[in-house]
Chains A and B, each alone.
Chain A
């Protein structure tokens, strides 16, 4: 089996699919950090909320309704969080932010249980994405290909927005030096708000697209949080490049680790993280010098 090129192809696609899912989550978290120096540990909870909103909407109007409702609804939650908590916590140190968002994790966890109960929910994959597709000599689940495609298109869209549009230039200026950006007449406060909401929407999107692969449970947000944090610490907080690199590294190390060294698989990624922290304490592609 190990000498079968199709097998490795399959693993590579699995790794890529995991990477893309993590990318959707980490990009929001990392840009919010880069711009606002705010670490939102509750980002995973937003992902879980996305899955729940998606599952509820899908139960009414099918997968595609859920697919569009989830990011919008989670962005709505983001608006509430931003105006209620985040805006007031911006000037606090990292510890206060970590604690407040840790409190949010607790609160959101129980709120999802309160609204949706403890039982796992499921989302059906739509007909068009069900089944398998032949690709480069192997049969691969169409839905997973859809996730890869979605991740790549979001990446392309973000890269375009960041490098070619005015709002992208404003965000880059804000990441480099928010005080200077404010001096240049950029409405930094509004920029933060928009970026925060987009980050939340992407987390919600990640939740709803991950839902058919996993079951939707209250603790799914907790489970995804650690991989997401590893991605952005390896990649370097605040940079698009870092989020991409971190996601790919995590996806491939995790997937191939499980195949090549099953005993070490779970520890491998943490060992890699430790190595990165020793050699480059601020990650591989930090946003600033």
Chain B
């Protein structure tokens, strides 16, 4: 069950401050990296909801993001639907797609679930790759960003777009917390802890899994719609299973089932990728080795490790600080 604690709040505040600082001080390149981090963060929150709180380790979330991106591109650029509606449409469509995948895979567990979702992701990939309407290998260009001129905001400006993505991430984080604290989210963690018992109690397990997978898909779809607007061009590579794999890597590096951890992971991953690819063209090797090391260390990612080490201590200190000092202690000092 998801709970906030002092450490989690503290890390959230630090992350928010860092993002705002970057958004207001950075130049073009820094803003691009920030936006990339924010969009990846939205995607990995979607993945953490299903993987960290439902035990549904999905290898199709990259593809779901791709579905959102293509849906937005097609609806806005080809069908001529207004961008806000196109975005809503993309989110809804991805949600429905994810619901169907979740429903079909709900009876599979462990490695079967992983592989089944992988296969569905690849199905979407090869379909997009070959269907003419999606522009095939060449992808689609000329994707417009949302027009917020009404509020005096020009999203074609990198800074505004980064802040827009930050706002979206904030909303998604709030939504994720609400989902996990809802009846549905509670039942999901019940299913993760003991699926047989939840069924014996009368829960229609597949529906809960499919519903949460659908909600997670909506979030992934939002990430996709934002990614399409960010780069203004999309190609089938977006749906490739390595994107899903990377998202899973980020969740694991950050800390599965903590929501905050994957945010840390997203920032670390993107920064690491850019730093390393500047140094060497073999940055995958470094990421691979780090991933193996983290998993072999059996820590729950960067954040999980910090939480296991210092979480309790910080919690206690906060509790001490908020408690009124005993009168005896006060006098003994004097």
Contacts and interface: CB of A to CB of B under 8 A. Distances in A.
Contact of B289 (A99, A107, A266): A107
Contact of B296 (A95, A100, A237, A273): A100
A113 B280 CA distance: 12
Q: Is the interface of B mostly helix, strand, loop or mixed?
A: helix
A281 B123 contact: no
Interface stretch (B64-72, B159-167, B187-195, B245-253): B245-253
A146 interface: no
A105 interface: yes
Given A85-B296, A89-B296, A270-B126, A94 B120 contact: no
Interface in B277-298: 281-285, 287-292, 295-296
Given A266-B129, A274-B104, A277-B116, A94 B111 contact: yes
Given A94-B111, A114-B282, A105 B288 contact: yes
Given A85-B292, A100-B295, A277 B282 contact: no
B22 interface: no
A135 interface: no
Given A103-B289, A111-B285, A233 B126 contact: no
Interface residues of B, number: 39
Nearest to B123: A270
Contacts of A278: 104, 107
Contacts of B105: 277
B307 to A, nearest CB: 19
Contact of B119 (A97, A102, A109, A226): A226
A222 B242 contact: yes
B285 A110 contact: yes
A213 B106 CA distance: 39
Contact of A230 (B112, B119, B248): B119
A99 B291 contact: yes
A40 to B, nearest CB: 11
Contacts of B115: 229, 233
Contacts of A3: none
A169 interface: no
A267 B124 CA distance: 8
Nearest to B252: A99
Contact of A98 (B57, B107, B120, B129): B57
Contacts of A94: 57, 110-111, 114
Interface in A266-282: 266-267, 270-271, 273-274, 277-278, 281-282
A7 interface: no
Interface in A176-200: none
Nearest to A234: B119
Contacts of B127: 266-267
B243 to A, nearest CB: 12
A102 B245 contact: yes
Q: Is the interface of A mostly helix, strand, loop or mixed?
A: helix
A281 B107 contact: yes
Contact of A100 (B123, B284, B291): B291
B111 A39 contact: yes
A277 B104 contact: yes
A99 B248 contact: yes
B288 A277 contact: no
Interface in A71-120: 85, 88-89, 92-100, 102-111, 113-114
B284 A109 contact: yes
B313 to A, nearest CB: 27
Contacts of B248: 99, 102
B126 A102 contact: no
Q: Which of B111, B114, B296 gathers the greatest number of chain A CB atoms within 10 Å?
A: B111
B295 A99 contact: yes
A103 B119 contact: no
B118 interface: yes
Interface in B221-259: 241-242, 245, 248-249, 252
A270 B120 contact: yes
A281 B111 CA distance: 11
Contacts of B5: none
Interface of A: 33, 39, 85, 88-89, 92-100, 102-111, 113-114, 222, 226, 229-230, 233, 237, 263, 266-267, 270-271, 273-274, 277-278, 281-282
Sort A-B residue pairs by CB-CB distance and give the 6 closest, nearest first: A106-B288, A270-B123, A107-B288, A103-B291, A110-B285, A266-B126
Given A94-B57, A102-B291, 19 more contacts: A88-B296, A94-B114, A103-B290, A103-B291, A103-B292, A105-B288, A107-B284, A107-B285, A107-B289, A110-B284, A110-B288, A114-B282, A229-B118, A266-B127, A270-B126, A271-B123, A273-B119, A277-B112, A281-B108
14 contacts: A85-B292, A88-B296, A98-B111, A102-B245, A106-B284, A106-B287, A108-B288, A226-B241, A229-B118, A233-B116, A237-B112, A263-B130, A266-B129, A270-B122
